[in-house]
A and B are shown apart, each in its own frame.
Chain A
């Protein structure tokens, strides 16, 4: 026999009431937990994916689209830019690193990115097995592409135009997998990397015969005066035909942040977008939805608090005699006060523990069954210190709801109750 046995037996005596109170609270807590986990991990992913990239230079259009497309690979390109125009900024004294990106095709909705080795270095990618891409049409795939698609070394595949599955396929050329990268928990896990030339080759198939010949001629034209392009070394500097989708830029000094964006936007047909600025904007847009859901969670929690208060308050009326009898058996006022407080506290603590488990459970299920969640890298097994705040907060809520009934229990006039008045 202990105060907990007593409280527990009172719960058991009203199973439906107890269950509904716990359920209400746990639903609110679960919504809160899911939002917390989702928001935190998304924020973390976004910062990780944008780390090291100070500026994205691409075709004119929506700056947010430029960022979504070239950093997170979830949107379509704004258009192409001339390689020679990009080169002008790649060589700028304030630029430490410039990485070209050529997008356009995908395989089973995994995007194929024509780029340089520096792109993989940006995310500190390492090889799980095989090699980095070297020759045209060789690809090195991200961890998720290896496991979910699935592709393995030596596999050949044809790419599809665009990002969606079932687009027009380029059957004429097939890519060959030469390596698989280790998991980086960045967007790289969902990409297929190759060189820029491969992407060109895919698309020049569709261009006229003439352009094709141009290309052939071009490679033969290498002589002593050949100066390689800083972005794509196999191409001569200043090539006026070749195009890429965008260029990722890392500044040499903070001065870059002041000068470069303005320089790019004003002096060329190109557009520069800052990942930091655009993601902050994205968060503020998403924030509205999150706030509404959060408000919904608060309403659920408030209602459950009210429901616990009403349940305790009503049950106390029925239990006035119990309380008086317990006093006659030697229970002190304080003991009864504490037992009612505990009843509220344990109820909400149970509710919030169940809610936290439910929240994590939902994300575990989501990441297990929904491919999009898996690709986004949302994990249900991650725990944050904020969850302690939820636990302690709900315990306080329970105590708060129980305080008025507990005071009533404290004040019970035992003689009056026992005399039957």
Chain B
């Protein structure tokens, strides 16, 4: 599903970073651990095709990302990958429902309203469907962000520091929610974090050393 071999990336500032080789199989959950500045986000962006021009090999879903053109990489990302970011940024001009519709629309897939109902009620957001995203609490907004990430039934979900700003109780809820929706959709889950509380939640772990 995901395999990295001899991967390195050069920042525009000139310094470069090397990543350890690892493989994640389909449906597996994996933790990407490392201190701030260890390159977690960079690795996640490389895996998600948000960053290009790497050296070595990054294979996602048996596709070498470097071989895709930019436009087909965009399409690949939209159809195979769901992102959850630390700042679960939603498009504030749109309602909850339209934020979710954006995912299939931008990925070039058909919009399925039943799927939206299913995902929203699965995350306890059914009555928030028509609300403006500016009226949501932080927890609700995070659930909408997760709903958006899984809506297209992606084969991989990348989560970048999803819990670092949360207290223990919410940290627990969010990581279980992510693991549950990933399991429901048979998605591979890769969580990049420095949050030590997650260490005993997911057994497979890849450590990045600070450079």
Contacts and interface: CB of A to CB of B under 8 A. Distances in A.
A330 B91 contact: no
Interface centre among B77, B106, B107, B148 (most CB of A within 10 A): B106
Interface in A310-358: 321-322, 325-335
Contact of A325 (B41, B42, B79, B91): B91
A12 interface: yes
Contacts of B102: 1, 6, 326, 329
A418 B45 contact: yes
A330 B94 contact: no
B94 A9 contact: yes
Given A331-B78, A415-B51, A9 B98 contact: yes
Contacts of B75: 330, 332
Nearest to A323: B91
B92 A330 contact: no
Contact of B77 (A9, A328, A333, A419): A328
B48 interface: yes
Nearest to A328: B83
A347 to B, nearest CB: 15
B74 A330 contact: yes
A334 B75 CA distance: 12
A150 interface: no
Given A328-B77, A418-B50, A419-B41, A1 B93 contact: no
Interface string B53-73: 000000000000000001100
A2 interface: yes
Q: How large is the interface on A (under 10, 10 to 19, 20 to 34, 35 or more residues)?
A: 20 to 34
B77 A330 contact: yes
Contacts of B160: 418
A247 to B, nearest CB: 72
B49 to A, nearest CB: 9
A300 interface: no
B111 interface: yes
A420 interface: yes
A288 interface: no
Contact of B93 (A12, A329, A332, A333): A12
Contacts, number: 76
A240 interface: no
Summarize A's interface: helix, strand, loop or mixed. Answer: helix
Nearest to B85: A418
Interface centre among A5, A9, A326, A415 (most CB of B within 10 A): A415
Contacts of A322: 89, 91-93
Nearest to B77: A330
A330 B45 contact: no
A326 B106 contact: yes
Given A10-B93, A13-B93, A330 B50 contact: no
Given A1-B105, A330-B79, A332-B71, A325 B92 contact: no
A290 B7 CA distance: 70
A414 interface: yes
Contact of B50 (A12, A331, A415): A415
A327 B45 contact: no
A295 B31 CA distance: 66
Contacts of A13: 92-93
A415 B70 CA distance: 14
B94 A2 contact: no
Nearest to B45: A415
B93 A328 contact: no
B139 interface: no
Contacts of A419: 41-42, 45
Contacts of A420: 87
A314 to B, nearest CB: 14
Contacts of A9: 93-94, 98
Interface centre among A10, A326, A331, A414 (most CB of B within 10 A): A331
A282 to B, nearest CB: 54
A328 B103 CA distance: 10
Given A9-B98, A335-B106, 15 more contacts: A12-B93, A321-B89, A322-B92, A325-B85, A328-B77, A328-B83, A329-B83, A331-B74, A331-B106, A334-B71, A415-B51, A418-B45, A419-B41, A419-B42, A420-B87
Interface of A: 1-2, 5-6, 9-10, 12-13, 321-322, 325-335, 414-415, 418-420
